[in-house]
Amino acid sequence: MVSPPSETPSSGVEYAYRASAIGSAHRFALEDDGISWRVSRRTGRWGYADIAAVRMSYRPMSMQSRRFRTEISHRDGGRIIVMSTTWRTLALMDAQDNDYRTFIVELHRRLAEHGARATLVGGLNPLLYFAGAGVLMLLLVAMTALLARAIVTGEWAGALFIVGLSAFFGWQIGRFMRRNRPRAYTFDALPQDLLP
């Protein structure tokens, strides 16, 4: 959740989420000169100028279809992950859409304000994305061949099943691929489809 820091007065913004039902919360605070974080037993503080890259992506799960992820990389190779959902119990995951959006937008505003030269990218790694797109194209060809065979042999129930399965699969995977297409963005034009 986003809230003003409670322990010390600051102009910062905080965000926390639980990455698993049994683990401790991951906590982040945007402060005047950088981002401080606590992930399990690890803690750190990175100046805004030391942030090398920010990657935003869409990462749905079976329990939460509106799940977003931002990966923040430090110039020394370290990285921290900020997720838009939090585990409440072993079976329940809550969306924190407004708090996550506020935190990510403010992070970008502060990076720009401090003259950070971070690489800003949206979507998946291009190698993974295009490998996945290739597999999907092969699957499309196979499903089309199966559909054609079902129609030629008069297997109308099979053809209807293939059409229904393809439509459902296309709707689910299509949304994931569309939102996660690799691209660069700027501090003043965040990819809105990668924010809740």
CB environment 99-118: b (16+ within 10 A), e (fewer): bbbebbeebbebbeeeebeb
Euclidean distance between CA atoms 66 and 100, whole angstroms: 12
Euclidean distance between CA atoms 83 and 171, whole angstroms: 23
Tell me, what's the pLDDT at 71? 97
Q: What is the pLDDT of residues 42-80, one digit of tens each?
A: 899 999 999 999 999 998 876 667 899 999 999 999 999
Indicate the CATH number for domain 13-122.
2.30.29.30
113: DSSP letter:
H
Contact status, residue 63 vs residue 93, Cβ threshold 8 Å: yes
- 28 burial type by CB count under 10 A (0-12 exposed, 13-18 middle, 19+ buried): buried
Q: What is the pLDDT of residues 1-14, one digit of tens each?
A: 444 434 443 457 99
Euclidean distance between CA atoms 40 and 1, whole angstroms: 17
Q: Please report the beta strands in 48-149, taking only residues with DSSP state E, as ranges in sequence order.
A: 51-58, 68-74, 79-83, 85-87, 93-95, 119-122
Which stretches of the chain score pLDDT less than 70?
Answer: 1-11, 62-64
Contact status, residue 82 vs residue 70, Cβ threshold 8 Å: yes
Euclidean distance between CA atoms 161 and 152, whole angstroms: 15
Tell me, what's the pLDDT at 6? 40
- Domain spans, the chain: 13-122, 126-177
126, 121, 125: which is closest to 53 by C-alpha?
Answer: 121
pTM above 0.85, yes or no: no
Alpha helices in 94-125 (DSSP H): 97-113
Tell me, what's the pLDDT at 73? 96
Residue in this structure with the two tokens 């970008």, named with its chain if needed: 108
